[in-house]
Amino acid sequence: MGWWSTKIMGGDTPWDYEDLIYDICGVEKWPENMPEGSPQKEIPKTIFDKNMKEIIMRVEDDGYETEIGFQVLAYVAMRSGAKMSDYLKEKTIQACIDDEWAKTDEERSDSVNRLKVHIEKYDGNPVTDLEKDYGVFAEIAESGVAERVNKGIELGIIMRLESKLAELKSDERLTYPTATILENAPLALIQLGMESQIHLLEDLLELPKSKFPLVKKEVKK
């Protein structure tokens, strides 16, 4: 499948590395007794810390897109509140800097830079929102002037938002019946991610919220 998103966990390679980490720790992402609709199980901090050396060694020895592996290691470790040594922080920050895709893609660069800031700020407490924006828009929101900024948003930005919305809504996977975690976890996560992005864009553009699954448009002959 490759990549379906510019986010840190937006492709097959990061999922493979995440599976590797879970396997080393002996933790199941989706235990059989997990209620339907529940998020995947996080690796307990104590188990993560116990296996950290082996995880680092396996990622280093993998030899396949190692920078992605270290990005995922930081991502999963911070979710669990695992201990990150100075060495690991340096490795994961460098993995963000070395990301080749981020050098040519603005959205990927935003995702990688956001992860880098999280690593730099990480204090050992679990991070529940790894997509939090530490940039200028976060500062604007905190200053209480977000509403005025939104009203004065430039036409060019509006056009970009509309273009992104159209791109997302053209994805055929949103016309499929809504998947569940138990039936098809990868598709369920993809659909949920795209649906959330669509609703966010529709809120920003003050458009009616779409209902899913979308109706597939027929191509006129």
Say how many C-beta atoms besides its own lie within 10 A of residue 1's C-beta. Answer: 8
The CA distance from 217 to 140, in Å, is 39
The answer to whether residues 198 and 215 touch, using CB atoms and an 8 Å cutoff, is no
The CA distance from 152 to 155, in Å, is 9
Q: Band of the pLDDT at 146, cuts 50, 70, 90?
A: very low
The answer to whether residues 52 and 43 touch, using CB atoms and an 8 Å cutoff, is no
User: For the whole model, what pTM was predicted?
Assistant: 0.60
| Lookup result for tokens 């938002």 | 161
Compare 45 and 208 and report the one with higher pLDDT. Answer: 45
The answer to whether residues 27 and 16 touch, using CB atoms and an 8 Å cutoff, is no
Long-range contacts of 22-25 (CB under 8 A, 24+ apart): 24/51, 24/54, 24/55, 24/58, 25/51, 25/55
Mean pLDDT of 13-38: 87
Residue-wise pLDDT tens digits, 160-170: 788 888 889 98
Q: What SS3 state is found at 30? A: coil
| Region of 144 on the Ramachandran plot (φ > 0 left; ψ -120 to 50 alpha; else beta) | left
Residue-wise pLDDT tens digits, 97-113: 999 999 998 889 989 98
Q: Band of the pLDDT at 126, cuts 50, 70, 90?
A: very high
The CA distance from 78 to 117, in Å, is 12
Q: How much is the pLDDT for 133? A: 46
